[in-house]
Each structure stands twice: as structure tokens, then as C-alpha cells.
Structure 1
Amino acid sequence: MSGLKLEQVVKRYGATQVIHGVDLTIEDGEFCVFVGPSGCGKSTLLRMVAGLEDTSDGKISIGGRDVTRLDPAERGVAMVFQTYALYPHMTVAENMGFGLKMTGHPKAEVKAKVDEAARVLKLGDYLDRKPKALSGGQRQRVAIGRAIVRGPEVFLFDEPLSNLDAELRVEMRVEIARLHQEIGATMIYVTHDQVEAMTLADKIVVLRAGRVEQVGAPLDLYNDPDNRFVAGFIGSPAMNFFDGTLHKGGLRVPGLGDVTMAAPRNAAGAVTVGLRPNHLFLAEGDSHVVELSEQLGGVSYHYLKASDGTKLIVEAHDQSAPKPGSRTGLRIDPAKAFFFNAENGLRLR
């Protein structure tokens, strides 16, 4: 297996530039996840690595080898798509071994690699079945198996779980994590689901409008975001944001019940305050209106509205819930607050 390096990678469609000078290093054996909102360029970037999209400028290297202008088959990558793309008339074994068969590999070698991939993916009992006799999760495992038998340097996954129901998504997420641990391959995984990113990744790349906002380990991004965009994207439910204004007594935050907090030392002008739902607590008082409570058993989410119209979510780990339309107070842990420049969104530390 090999690592991957992108150097000032650019993608243009005519006069429109969609990827803006991306620099990124993914180490050998690392599980890297590209996340970001729809249209941020994560799938385009993945397809550029695969060779399915031309690179307008910059350099892509795999295992120290410049692959920028190579055809997809010469890059040493295998891609698993959102759709399974299985041949309906072929068995599981035939689907998995088809690529090797077409490149002239001996039958015995093809069978050995298919059997090994089936063992890793727990598909041994299904090798003689056709895709129509499989569940969605099993079909996706076959698609992954087809990639494994090729022995690529880098595995590429383009939102592979988005067609599955919630239960199968969790099951397949565990399967992919186990697969990475077992074969130790370099993997790049694209998703819009930041929960998948947090649970699978060694490294997360947060993209917005074709630019890298921040790169780091999941908990590093969660605990130490560089800007408001990353802070709001990483974490579920999303971070709450409040408008704050500086005055001589500190930072006034109407959305928190008109509390005054200590201001960050480098603050100037308007400040945005960020607090995660698990760092807010219901309390005595009437500063906020309860709009809705979701009770999920071990955790509850309370949706509140402040007098200035600010909406927020409070996470609680009990089974009591205020009634919709009632009023409640709010308690915060100021030490857990994040501060951002209200104009450019950059973190104030």
C-alpha cells in the first residue's frame, strides 16, 4: 500500500474554478475522510485522484509516483461508488473476479483472491448467488470485494452507504472500519455525513467551496476548530451560535438570556459565541421558550428560542422534558465556549 500527496491541485470547468489549490498529504495506511456540504468539491477531488476527472493544475502522487496524467487503470487505485454497479447476470464470485479475469490473470489466482476477499467480507456463503438475491448491505460488500481483489495501492469510496437504510448504514460502517483494521490499506472516503467521518477517520479533511478549511484527527477538529464553519459542521447536533457585543463589562450575549461573559483578549467589534448542545443546561427561569423536545431514551434534545429570536438546542441525559410552549432558564459552562470573529468566522483564541 502507499500514501497519497496532492500539491496545489486545481480543477476548472472552462472559466469556472471548482477546486482551489488543494495541498494534502495522506500517509500510507491512513483512513482519510473528505467531508463538507453538497457542492463543496469532495467528490470532484476524489474523482481527480481516481483519474476520472482531469487535473487542471497541480500534481497528484501515489506512493511517490506522479500519476497526474495517468489513466485510471495505471494509478493503482480502486473505487467503490454510491451505486453498487454489479452485473446482474453474474454470481458474486464472478462479479468480484471480473476485473482480474479481463486482465488475463490465471483462474487459480482469481479464485484465490476472490476467496480471500470473501473471507474478509464474510461473503463465503454467497459466492454462488446473483445480486438480486442479496440485501443492499451484501451488495455493497460485493462491490468492496471487487475492489479488494485488485490489490490497489489506494481505496477510494464515494458515499458508499448513502443508498442504505439507517440500520444497514451502521452495520456497514462497522464493516468498513473492521476492513481497514484488517488489511491496513490507505483509504479515502467521501461523505456528507459527519457522523460517518467522526467514527471512521484517522484524518478528516473539511472542504468548503473547493478549499480545505481544516485537516486533523476527528476529536482535534471537534475540540479545536479553526473557524465557525468547521465548528458548526463537526458535531451532531451542530454547535449553537450566538451574537455577542463587547462593552466595558465584557461580552453581552442576549441569546443566552442576556448574560455577560468574559471577552476573549483579542476580540474587537462583534463576536460570535459558540456552545455545543451538551454544554448547555436547562435551569430555573423564563428566558427561553421551549419549542420542541425529542426524547430518544438515553438522550433528549430540547429546542429553545431566546427572547431575541435566537434558536438553540440543549442536549440532556435524563428523561424529563419541559412542555412545548413553556418557559425555562438556561445555564452555561463559560469555560466550554468558543469565540469567533463575527465578520470572517475565524476563531478567537
Structure 2
Amino acid sequence: MSGVVMKDVIKKYGNVQVIHGIDLEIKDGEFCVFVGPSGCGKSTLLRMVAGLEETTEGSMSIGARDVTAMDPAERGVAMVFQTYALYPHMTVRDNMGFGLKMNGHPKAEIKEKVAEATRILKLEEYLDRKPAALSGGQRQRVSIGRAIVRGPEVFLFDEPLSNLDAELRVEMRVEIARLHKEIGATMIYVTHDQVEAMTLADKIVVLRKGAIEQVGAPLELYRDPDSKFVAGFIGSPAMNFLEGMSTGNALTLDDLAGQFELPVTLPASGTGVSLGIRPEHIEIDPDGDTHTVELTEALGGVSFVHLVSESGAKIIVEERGDDRSVEGARVGMSFPPERAMLFDRETEQRIR
């Protein structure tokens, strides 16, 4: 098994640059997730690791080898795509062993490796079935099994759960997490779903417009984001933002009366700021009169209450317990100042 190191990696299509100087180290055995909105460059970067996209500038290493100019087959990687790409006329057994067969591996070795992948993925009872007789989740497991039998140094996953329904997505997330623990391989996983990122990753790389916004462990990014973009992207529901202005000694918010003192050094008076607060850190005051309950999403043990202010600003509050806010009611809201985060409105960088 091997880690992956990228040094000042750049990707251009003609005069258009889509990846901007990526410096990143993924350690041996680490589960690293690339996450970000559509068009941020996460799949392009993954394909560059695989060798399916040429690296315009910079270097790419896997283990001790510089693979920047190597063909995909020489890199020691295996890729699992969003589409299963299984041969419909072949059984599960033949699909998983086909790559080894084409490379001339002995039948006994192929049988052994397919049996091991089958054990890991719990596919024993499906070996003689063809893809048409499998569910979406089972097909994706076969696709992963095909990657396992190759014994790669690095596994690459390109949004492998996007085609599955909600229940299967949860099931396959658990399967992939279990697979990583069992085989201990280096894995790089691309998704736009931050819930997948939070539940699977050892390390999350948040990408924005082809550049790294922040790198860190899931809870590190959740609790200590460096920018408004990361704070708003990591977490479900997203962090709430209230616009305001620094007065030098305190903070005045557009949608809440009074001034707020925060445990940070405020910027110069007159500087526009955004205050971020997570839904679970806000409390609703039923006796208040600053916001209207627009919608209450009752999910069982928790509800998400959507509030709207007089100016139209929207806030989401996590509510627990048996008493839930009623749509149309007028309420107030409060939060502990130490839970709030402050961002410069212009640069969107965290004010600490």
C-alpha cells in the first residue's frame, strides 16, 4: 500500500486552467475524501491521480514512485466509477476476474483473489448471477470487488453511490467504511455529498474553483472552519449566516436587535461581517417576536424549524423534544456567543 503526494499540480485545457497548484499529501492507508460543489475540480483531480487526465504542471507520486508521466496501467491504482460498467453477459465471478484473465494471470490465482474479494464483500451467493439479476447495491459491490482483485496500491472512487436510492446509499457507505478497515488500503473518494464525506473520511479536502479551500479531519472542519465557504458547505443543515457590522467594540446584526459581544478581536469599526451559527446552537424563544416560523420539518427525534425575519433573512433551527414550533407563529431566537463564528464579509475568511 502507498500514499499519494501532489506537488504544485496544475491542469489546463488549452488556455483554461481548472486545477490551481494543488499541494497535498495523502498518507498510506488513509481514507481521503475530495468534496465540493459541482465544477470545483474534484473528479478532474481524481482522474489525474489515475492517469486518465494528464498533469499539465507539477508532480504526482504514489509511494516512492513519480507517476506523473506514467500510463494508468502502470500506476497501481484501481478506480470505481459512478456507473458500474459490468459486462452484462458475464457472471459476477467472471466480471471480477476478467481484468486478471486479460493480463494473463494463472487460473488458480484468479480463483483465489476472486474468492477473497467475494468474502470481503459478502457476494458468495451471487457469484453465478449476471448483473441483470442484481440490485444496484449488489452491482456496485461487484464493481468494487473487481477493483479489489487487482490488489492496487490506491483505490479511487468517483461518486460511486450517486446512482443508488437513499437506503442503499446508507448501506453502501457502511460497506465501504468496513472495506477500508478490513483491507487498510489508501482510498481517495470523490463526492458532492458532505454527509458521505463526514461519515467516511479520515481526511477531507474541500475544493473550490480548482483550489484547496481547507484540509482536515471531518470534525475539525465542522468545528473550526477557516472560511465562510467551508463553514457553509460542511454540516447538514448548513450553518446559518447573519449579516452585520463591526462597531469596534461590539457587533450589530441586521436581523437581531441590540449589540453582541463575541470572544474574538473585532475588525475596525464599519467593517462588514457575517456571523455564522449552527442550527443546533440556536434556541427558539416562544415569547419573542422577531421571526416567523415558515416551516417545521418533523423528522422524528429532531425537527428543523425554518424561521424568516422581517427583512426576509432565513434561519434554520434544530429543535428536539415533544413540543415543536407551529408554522405561522411569531418567535424569538438566541444563541450562546461563544458558539458563533465571525467571517469578514468581503474576503469570507474567518475572524479569530
Question: Residue 335 in 1 paired to residue 338 in 2?
Answer: yes
**Secondary structure, counterpart of 1:236 in structure 2:** coil
Q: CA deviation at 1:58?
A: 0.5
- Identity, in percent, stands at 68
Alignment of 1:149-298 (within 5 A): 149-247=149-247, 250-255=250-255, 257-263=256-262, 264-268=264-268, 269-283=271-285, 284-298=287-301
Aligned mates of 2:20, 2:257 — CA distance in 1: 41
Gaps of 5+ in 1: none
Q: Secondary structure at the match of 1:188?
A: strand
DSSP 3-state at the match of 1:286: coil
Query: Cα distance, 1:241 vs. partner?
Result: 0.3
TM-score by length of 1: 0.98
d(CA) in 1 for partners of 2:206 and 2:275? 21
Give 1:247 deviation, angstroms.
2.4
Q: Contact 2:248 / 2:267 at 8 angstroms: preserved in 1?
A: no
Q: Structure 2: which 5+ residue stretches go unaligned?
A: none
Q: What number of residue pairs does the alignment pair up?
A: 348
Q: How far 1:3 sits from its partner (Å)?
A: 0.3
Q: 1:248 to 1:67 in 2, by over 3 A?
A: closer
Q: Describe the superposition over 1:33-82 as per-residue Cα deviations: whole angstroms up to 9, x where unpaired.
A: 00000000000000000000111001000012000111100000000000
Amino acid at match of 1:103: N
Q: Which runs of 4+ in 1 moved over 4 A?
A: none
Q: CA deviation digits over 1:231-268, x for unaligned, max 9? A: 0000110000011112266101132x224211531423
In structure 2, C-alpha distance between the alignment counterparts of 1:201 and 1:82, rounded to whole Å: 18
Give the conservation status (yes or no) of the 8 Å contact 2:248–2:266. no
How many Å separate the matches in 1 of 2:339 and 2:248?
A: 22
Q: Give 1:150's aligned amino acid.
A: R
More off after superposition, 4-13 vs 314-323: 314-323
Please report how far the alpha carbon of residue 22 of structure 1 lies from its aligned counterpart in structure 2 after TM superposition. 0.2
**Any idea what SS the aligned residue of 1:214 has?**
strand
> Where in structure 2 are the equivalents of 1:17-32 lying within 5 Å?
17-32=17-32
- Name 1:131's counterpart in structure 2: 131
**SS, match of residue 285 in structure 1:** coil
Structure 1 CA distance for aligned equivalents of residues 248 and 71 of structure 2: 63
Give the alignment's TM-score, normalised by structure 2: 0.97
Q: CA deviation at 1:331?
A: 1.6
Q: 1-side partners of 2:218 and 2:236: how far apart?
A: 13
SS, match of residue 83 in structure 1: coil
CA distance in 1, matches of 2:163, 2:153: 26
CA distance in 2, matches of 1:340, 1:134: 49
Equivalent residue, structure 2, for 1:301: 304
Q: Which amino acid aligns with 1:182?
A: E
Contact 1:299 1:319 in 2 (8 A): no
Distance 1:259 1:199 in 2: 39
8 Å CA contact 1:303–1:313 kept in 2: the answer is: yes
- Tell me if structure 2 keeps the 8 A contact 1:90–1:130: yes
Give the distance between the partners of 2:327 and 2:249, measured in 1 at CA.
34
| 1:43-122 → structure 2 map (5 Å cutoff) | 43-122=43-122
How far apart, in 2, do the equivalents of 1:16 and 1:258 lie? 47
Kindly state the Cα deviation for residue 319 of structure 1 after the two structures are TM-superposed.
3.4
Asked whether the equivalents of residues 206 and 213 of structure 1 are also in contact (C-alpha less than 8 Å), the reply is yes
CA-based RMSD: 0.9
Question: Secondary structure, in 3 states, of the residue corresponding to 1:78?
Answer: strand
**Pairwise CA distance, 1:227:** 0.5
Distance 1:235 1:130 in 2: 39
Instruction: Confirm or deny: 8 A CA contact 1:300 1:319 kept in the other structure.
Output: no
